Amino acid sequence: MRVAISIVFAALFAAQAASAQTGDPVKGKAAFAVCAMCHSDFAGKNNIGPSLFGVVGRTAGTVPGFKYSTAMKAAGAWTPARLDAFIASPKAVVPGTAMPYAGLKDAAKRADIVAYLATLK
């Protein structure tokens, strides 16, 4: 009986943690204003930073027409979890990145931004 109760609580905790990471793309579009200072959300439109259109699932450092740091070119693919971590602390996730942003500590806003980025296809 104790094992069954433990399993139920573990499942509930996992579901709650997963839902806490689910963002709202509508709120994310508004929160993207911080990102929009340097990044575009339109395909093919680079600014100071590369376009973030299609970033979810894309290999880092591959937007045509943008000059990336060596660190970013070697950073791998942008999964939602990786984007969340990068937005929280860019230099911790990609040491050597040229991105000067210090990071966004608000986990809910990060989740919203990542949810918005996932709609850009």
> What are the average pLDDT values for consecutive 10-residue runs of the chain, which has 121 residues?
38 37 94 97 97 98 96 97 98 96 97 98 95
Tokens representing 47 are 């600014």
Any domain includes 53 = yes
Any domain includes 17 = no
Q: Round the CA-based radius of gyration of the chain to a whole number and report it.
A: 17
Distance of alpha carbon 23 from the chain centroid: 11
Predicted pLDDT at 61: 97
The total number of structural domains in the chain stands at 1
Predicted pLDDT at 21: 65
* Structural domain boundaries enclosing 78: 24-119
Tokens representing 28 are 């994310």
Any domain includes 39 = yes
Round to whole Å and give the CA distance between 99 and 51.
14
Predicted pLDDT at 10: 36
Predicted pLDDT at 13: 34
CATH label of the domain that carries residue 40: 1.10.760.10
pTM of the complete model beyond 0.75:
yes
Any domain includes 84 = yes
